Amino acid sequence: MHLIVQKYGGTSVANPDRIANVANRVAKGWRDGNKMVVVLSAMAGETDRLIKLARELSEDPDPRELDVLLATGEQVTVSLFSMFLRSQGVPATSLLSHQARIYTDRAYGRARIIGIDTARVKEELKKGRIVTVAGFQGVDEVGNITTLGRGGSDTTAVAIAAALKADLCEIYTDVDGVYTTDPRLHPKARKLARITYDEMLEMSSLGAKVLEIRSVGFAKRYAVPLAVRSSFSDQPGTLVTVEDEEMEDVPVSGVALSRNDSRVTITRVPDRPGIAVRLFRPVADANIVVDMIIQNTSIDGYTDLTFTVHRGDLKKTLEIVGPVAREIGAEQVLNDENIAKISIVGVGMKNNAGVAARMFEALSGENINILMISTSEIKISCVIEDKYGELAVRVLHDTFGLETPPPKKK
């Protein structure tokens, strides 16, 4: 007997038929003797619909009231789900966040889970029931309803799995696992049997939308065994887990392309202490995340500074750094939106020399110019011209042989 937490995303509960379909799946796990906790998202499109509805009455909806509204989406699915199971003679109880005691801070719209009191969930499980928990929502210390941010049901599931010390947390979605790259970009993309938490974190931050990034961080911190599977098939999916030796032998596990960035260059910046902070402090204070930063070696006391920000933040960034650049006597501020970031990710990079060189060689073989480079222990990213994005994905995927699974050693 196992304690299993399963999470079903919006597309998996998009209509009554699909709800019945996944409920039957859960019932099967229960009949096999497992304890089942099910976290559900709202029906596909429902959260968007509610946000639109709110905007019809208020341009800038009050955050507290908006969360009260948005939390209803998940209330609908957990009740329908449990209702159906009961009609089939399977005992199930739905719990909203205050009943499942999922406590958060009061940051409406992006609340953080600070603790879960599992007593009620455990009590229901003990009675032999399937427990369905509304994802995405929480409750603050005085009982206000909060939400965790878009895609937050993944985090609900992982947090409950961690709190219950579940044997497995399965995230059911409309794709059947994590791939070496986006299959829409390269037909040779291969589903990974396993990926490490750290690799998954890098892939998620690079825009692989399979798992919400916060849930991966949570899973890593509490070592929650996590599986990504499709609710439309019986495929085993991808296991997100701690690294082992076999995984460390593979230098590159995935290739990711992100098209969300733009580049800002400030030329002829005086090279003296305090300049970087004057430029980047106001950017940070405006809550804009700066990704890569490159400062050239200075010549005659001047240097060029280049950095990337999210495309949606470009306008605001320019408004902020423009005046500062003038104040400090820099020459000009340039920007470029036609860029893409191509990255290779793999825990095995730590033990394999020459990975970066192979990447640069592959790109140069296609005459792709590298505009910026950044690295972490398990990732190398290059900024290139946007038009080469898909070509770069295919070339790197092929160069590192990602279409063939790594040999198993015994």
Site of interaction with ligand ASP (CB under 6 A): 9-10, 41-42, 47, 73, 135-136, 150-153
Q: Toward ligand ASP, which CB reaches closer, 138 or 346? A: 138
Residue 151 CB, nearest approach to ligand ASP (Å): 5
Q: Toward ligand ASP, which CB reaches closer, 153 or 241? A: 153
Q: Toward ligand ASP, which CB reaches closer, 136 or 307? A: 136
Given a contact cutoff of 8 angstroms between Cβ atoms, the answer to whether 186 and 398 are in contact is: no
Contacts (Cβ under 8 Å, ≥6 apart) of 101 = 116, 117, 118, 119, 120, 139
Residue 184 CB, nearest approach to ligand ASP (Å): 21
Q: Of 21-50, which residues contact Mg ion (CB under 5 A)?
A: 41
Residue 225 CB, nearest approach to ligand ASP (Å): 20
Interface with Mg ion, residue 10, by CB under 5 A: yes
Q: Quick one: what does residue 251 bind among ligand ASP, Mg ion, none, with the CB cut-off 5 to 8 Å set by partner type?
A: none
First to last CA, the chain: 29
**What's the rounded Cα separation, in Å, for the pair 32 and 167?**
15
Contacts (Cβ under 8 Å, ≥6 apart) of 389 = 257, 259, 340, 342
Residue 48 CB, nearest approach to Mg ion (Å): 9
Q: Exposed/middle/buried for 225, CB within 10 Å: 0-12, 13-18, 19+?
A: middle
Specify the pairing of strand 113-116 against strand 130-134: unpaired
**How open is the CA angle 143-147-149, to the nearest 5 degrees?**
160
**What's the rounded Cα separation, in Å, for the pair 374 and 367?**
20
**Which of 111, 115, 117 has the alpha carbon at shortest distance from 95?**
117
Q: Quick one: what does residue 197 bind among ligand ASP, Mg ion, none, with the CB cut-off 5 to 8 Å set by partner type?
A: none
Residue 211 CB, nearest approach to ligand ASP (Å): 11
Interface with Mg ion, residue 77, by CB under 5 A: no
Q: Quick one: what does residue 150 bind among ligand ASP, Mg ion, none, with the CB cut-off 5 to 8 Å set by partner type?
A: ligand ASP
Q: Toward ligand ASP, which CB reaches closer, 173 or 306? A: 173
**H or E stretch covering 69:** helix 63-70
Contacts (Cβ under 8 Å, ≥6 apart) of 107 = 146
Q: Quick one: what does residue 73 bind among ligand ASP, Mg ion, none, with the CB cut-off 5 to 8 Å set by partner type?
A: ligand ASP
Sheet holding 137-139, edge to edge: 113-116, 102-104, 137-139, 145-147
Residue 42 CB, nearest approach to Mg ion (Å): 7
Residue 160 CB, nearest approach to Mg ion (Å): 17
Size of the site for Mg ion (CB under 5 A): 2
Interface with Mg ion, residue 231, by CB under 5 A: no
Q: Toward Mg ion, which CB reaches closer, 152 or 346? A: 152
Residue 300 CB, nearest approach to ligand ASP (Å): 52
Q: Toward ligand ASP, which CB reaches closer, 73 or 251? A: 73
**What's the rounded Cα separation, in Å, for the pair 373 and 314?**
20
Per-residue contact string for residues 129-168; x = within reach of Mg ion by CB under 5 A = ----------------------------------------
**What's the rounded Cα separation, in Å, for the pair 134 and 115?**
16
> DSSP state, 350?
G
Residues near Mg ion (CB under 5 A) = 10, 41
